[in-house]
A and B are shown apart, each in its own frame.
Chain A
Amino acid sequence: MTDTQELKEKVSWVTDDAMEKLARRHRSERRFKRLGLSAIVIALVMLATLLVSIIGRGYTAFIQTTITLDVTFSEAIIDPKGARDHKTLKAASYRTLIREALRKEFPDVSTRKDLRALFGLISKGAVQEFRDLVISDPDLIGTTSSVELTASDDIDMFSKGYISRNVSEEDRRVKDIEIKWFDQLQSNNAIQTVFNKRFFTGGDSREPEVAGIMGALVGSLYTLLITFIISFPIGLMSAIYLEEFAPKNKITVLIEVNINNLAAVPSIVYGLLGVALFLNVAHMPRSAPLVGGLTLALMTLPTIIIAARASIRAVPDSIRNAALALGASKQQSVFHHVLPLSMPGILTGTIIGLSQALGETAPLLMIGMVAFIVDIPGGVTDPATVLPVQIFLWADSPERAFVEKTSGAIIVLLGFLVFMNAIAVLLRKKFERRW
């Protein structure tokens, strides 16, 4: 009796010792949970810091200071012969018109130096805006109307508060006299901040106030398009063949090892390959999205093959066997059953590969896409640059106003990435099937 009782007590799991052990295990679990949570929190804080600093610095890139002036579209200056043909209108000296308007606004400015500063209030890019305005509406000639003109980058920075009034004049890019003019214009309600349309529609420029991201955006699109067209079919075919048809022997093992190796090769190596193959042998044009896309396709291929193989392998064999049992050929079983089921994974892998390609600059340096290109590319053989290169070039520019443009471009790039990843999520949701 006492023996059994003792035994019972001995095997009981609620001894102090056991409770102590249990508590320790619970503590350890809580600790692990807390560690995991803090890891997530740290990651989130970092992400938030990044976003806050980029958006905080970059949102001003989307707005633009303008100066409204009463401009006389003098016929004597624009089109003295009255012919109104495109060529005359294009070649006319619109700079003179802007200068006249500024002089009229500030009649007491006379010295050459001051006039130079006065004309500097308006962006150099305003001349083109003006030209486009007149060409689109020739009836303006001979009239006087108020026109919104883009302010120069220094005035824009000053207006946005990046240049302080409180530092001594010699250390300030915007001088006292310019501030005086600015205040006068502001009291006349001539200074406005508007949405910076040009940032989204224009090509690159050396004048930060007229520089736009469109050229790089289109360049990125063309490049990714080529990358996708080349790497997706080839990658998919290779994955299907290797996974479903290839015999398992030394050669396929060798190929597999090589593909895994290639996925880890630094991207600059692909740039060198691109130069050797596409520029030196195939004589394709430099700086073209075609070459960029082909080079990036080489880089993306291993990623796509690996992702596609993994998701093809994840399709249960029972599905293949069922198809074969019903008399389908191997090819039919693959294309009718395996491929549709593995598509979400393949597409996710492809989009991850393409996102990687979107962020690449190093290989593009070799093939000449790190370049100043004003015109928006109209095709895959036109010279173009891509978003990350544009960010790099702007970060490298001395003008103060390019700081906000850099952050603005990063926001656009992040938006592009979010868009691509959203597509990946959508596709996965749409095709996902459980068994």
Chain B
Amino acid sequence: MLKKTLGLAVIATVAIVGQAAARDQIRIVGSSTVFPFSTTVAETFGNKGNFKTPVVESTGSGGGLKLFCSGIGDAHPDITNASRRIKKSEVSKCAKAGITDITEVKVGFDGIVLANAKTTAPIRLTKKQIFLALAMQVPVNGSLIANPYRTWKDIDPSLPNTKIEVLGPPPTSGTRDAFVELAMEGGAKKFPSLKALRKSDKKAFKVIAHTVREDGAYIEAGENDNLIVQKLVANPNAVGIFGFSFLDQNSDRIQGGIIEGVKPTFENISKGAYGISRSLYFYVKNAHVGKVPGIKEFIAEFTSEDAFGEFGYLTDKGLIPLSKEERTAIRKQATSLTNLKMM
């Protein structure tokens, strides 16, 4: 009996695999930051009833591009989302696998906020202070030492006398990459000694600017997690780092910190006034257009005013739209599948 079951199982498996036909469903991989937007578009696209709802995987920007660049054919994804621009090394990796035609679509901005509970005063920080609070090594009197600051007040007398306690994303996260690059590196550049180091030895500079302290002041929490919000409410002294959409959804309980004198509001991020924001993209494999049904229509849906426009449904999900001119230009480029040019 058991042998029979086993045999049947093997036969069934082989039969199922054998019949795997051409794919009729778009497959999207990539960034967990773009994931909420990509899935919203996918669902709306599927609801229109002309094509199957695309499958969207949350693999992270790097993981997504790796899958995307692995080849052409049914087994490989058609589109990858990224919360940063594709790197030159990734373009050449793609080219090696025969993927030379890639369409880049910029969809909007995302701000990274430092937030705390509404029950206390909002935090006001400069990038320099962020660097001093969170870096592993900081320059004091011209020499680099292990971060000595325990309270915010230690950094600057104008800051509150509370323990530095920051809940942020783990190193695997794109949000962490962007935060480190935009906020901490931005702060590190303000020190003349580090600025000089940047010129002489860029690698050494990056190690200092990008290494987050590990003595307990920075607590690795989940990435963009509703739990961080709950932790912040429970502990008013703690500060959390996450994407703008979480602040937007929970603005009755938490407030965004003022960075370099600018509040993280929809308008400020959209204008580019807020210092810690990044662009979001997706990349399309042109070779799959026409093979997998609906890719062109999906791009059209994503870049329609209804979706990524100023009042589109993606703004309800926390996407910060591009300017009108940029949107028009991107729509034209995207729908005509203009090949990616790397500067």
Point out residues on A near B: beta carbons under 8 Å.
90-91, 116, 124, 127-128, 163-164, 167, 170-173, 205-207, 229-230, 233-234, 236-237, 279, 282-287, 290, 294, 365, 368, 370-375, 380-381, 383, 393, 395-400, 402-403, 406
**A403: which B residues are within 8 A, CB to CB?**
226
Check: B43 CB closer than 8 A to any chain A CB: yes
Q: A167-B252, A234-B6 are in contact. List 10 more A-B contacts (CB 8 A).
A: A229-B5, A233-B2, A286-B27, A287-B55, A371-B56, A371-B58, A372-B39, A375-B46, A396-B226, A397-B36
Q: Are A283 and B226 in contact (CB under 8 A)?
A: no
Q: Are B39 and A283 in contact (CB under 8 A)?
A: no
**B36: which A residues are within 8 A, CB to CB?**
206, 397-398
**B227: which A residues are within 8 A, CB to CB?**
395
Query: Please, how many angstroms separate the alpha-carbon atoms of A42 and B267 in the complex?
Result: 51
Residue of A nearest to B226 (CB): A403
Query: Please, how many angstroms separate the alpha-carbon atoms of A5 and B31 in the complex?
Result: 91
**A284: which B residues are within 8 A, CB to CB?**
17, 20
Q: Are A206 and B317 in contact (CB under 8 A)?
A: yes
Q: Known contacts A116-B311, A286-B75; decide if A171 and B251 are in contact (CB<8 Å).
A: yes
Check: B248 CB closer than 8 A to any chain A CB: yes
**B225: which A residues are within 8 A, CB to CB?**
395-396
Q: Are B243 and A383 in contact (CB under 8 A)?
A: no
Q: Which of B43, B52, B58 has the most CB of A within 10 A?
A: B43
- Select one of A206, A234, A236, A398 contacting B43, CB under 8 A: A206
**A365: which B residues are within 8 A, CB to CB?**
59
Q: Are B42 and A285 in contact (CB under 8 A)?
A: no
- Select one of A128, A236, A399 contacting B2, CB under 8 A: A236
Check: B49 CB closer than 8 A to any chain A CB: yes
**B246: which A residues are within 8 A, CB to CB?**
398
Q: Are A283 and B224 in contact (CB under 8 A)?
A: no
**B251: which A residues are within 8 A, CB to CB?**
170-173
Q: Known contacts A237-B2, A396-B32, A399-B249; decide if A206 and B57 are in contact (CB<8 Å).
A: no
Check: B13 CB closer than 8 A to any chain A CB: yes
Residue of B nearest to A168 (CB): B252
Query: Please, how many angstroms separate the alpha-carbon atoms of A286 and B17 in the complex?
Result: 12
Residue of B nearest to A285 (CB): B20
Q: Are A283 and B35 in contact (CB under 8 A)?
A: no
Q: Known contacts A206-B43, A370-B58; decide if A282 and B17 are in contact (CB<8 Å).
A: yes
A-B contact pairs, 7 of them (CB 8 A): A206-B43, A279-B75, A372-B58, A375-B52, A396-B226, A397-B36, A400-B250
Q: Are A374 and B53 in contact (CB under 8 A)?
A: yes
Nearest Cβ distance between residue A58 and chain B, in whole angstroms? 13
Query: Please, how many angstroms separate the alpha-carbon atoms of A398 and B251 in the complex?
Result: 12
Q: Are A173 and B56 in contact (CB under 8 A)?
A: no
Check: B40 CB closer than 8 A to any chain A CB: yes
**A397: which B residues are within 8 A, CB to CB?**
36, 226
Q: Are B13 and A163 in contact (CB under 8 A)?
A: no
Nearest Cβ distance between residue A123 and chain B, in whole angstroms? 12
Q: Are B75 and A290 in contact (CB under 8 A)?
A: no
Q: Are A283 and B5 in contact (CB under 8 A)?
A: no
**B252: which A residues are within 8 A, CB to CB?**
163-164, 167, 171-173
Nearest Cβ distance between residue A295 and chain B, in whole angstroms? 13
Q: Are A398 and B16 in contact (CB under 8 A)?
A: no
Q: Known contacts A116-B311, A285-B20, A380-B16; decide if A372 and B56 are in contact (CB<8 Å).
A: yes
**B9: which A residues are within 8 A, CB to CB?**
229-230, 233
Query: Please, how many angstroms separate the alpha-carbon atoms of A381 and B20 in the complex?
Result: 8
Q: Are A398 and B6 in contact (CB under 8 A)?
A: no
**B3: which A residues are within 8 A, CB to CB?**
233
Q: Are A233 and B249 in contact (CB under 8 A)?
A: no
Query: Please, how many angstroms separate the alpha-carbon atoms of A427 and B118 in the complex?
Result: 54
- Select one of B2, B46, B245 contacting A398, CB under 8 A: B245
Residue of A nearest to B29 (CB): A368
Nearest Cβ distance between residue A337 and chain B, in whole angstroms? 16
Query: Please, how many angstroms separate the alpha-carbon atoms of A124 and B316 in the complex?
Result: 12
**A237: which B residues are within 8 A, CB to CB?**
2, 6
Q: Are A374 and B318 in contact (CB under 8 A)?
A: no
Q: Known contacts A163-B252, A237-B2; decide if A374 and B42 are in contact (CB<8 Å).
A: yes
Instruction: Bits for B216-258, please: 1 = Cβ < 8 Å to A, else 0.
Output: 0000001111110000000000000001011011111000000
Q: Are B223 and A396 in contact (CB under 8 A)?
A: yes
Residue of A nearest to B4 (CB): A233
Check: B25 CB closer than 8 A to any chain A CB: yes
Instruction: Bits for B1-31, please: 1 = Cβ < 8 Å to A, else 0.
Output: 0110110010001001100100001010100
Residue of A nearest to B35 (CB): A372
**B2: which A residues are within 8 A, CB to CB?**
233, 236-237
Q: Are A173 and B249 in contact (CB under 8 A)?
A: yes
Q: Are A233 and B42 in contact (CB under 8 A)?
A: no
Q: Are B39 and A406 in contact (CB under 8 A)?
A: no
Query: Please, how many angstroms separate the alpha-carbon atoms of A383 and B249 in the complex?
Result: 30
Nearest Cβ distance between residue A373 and chain B, in whole angstroms? 6
**A128: which B residues are within 8 A, CB to CB?**
47
Q: Are B75 and A381 in contact (CB under 8 A)?
A: no
Nearest Cβ distance between residue B310 and chain A, in whole angstroms? 12
Nearest Cβ distance between residue A77 and chain B, in whole angstroms? 17
Query: Please, how many angstroms separate the alpha-carbon atoms of A249 and B133 in the complex?
Result: 62
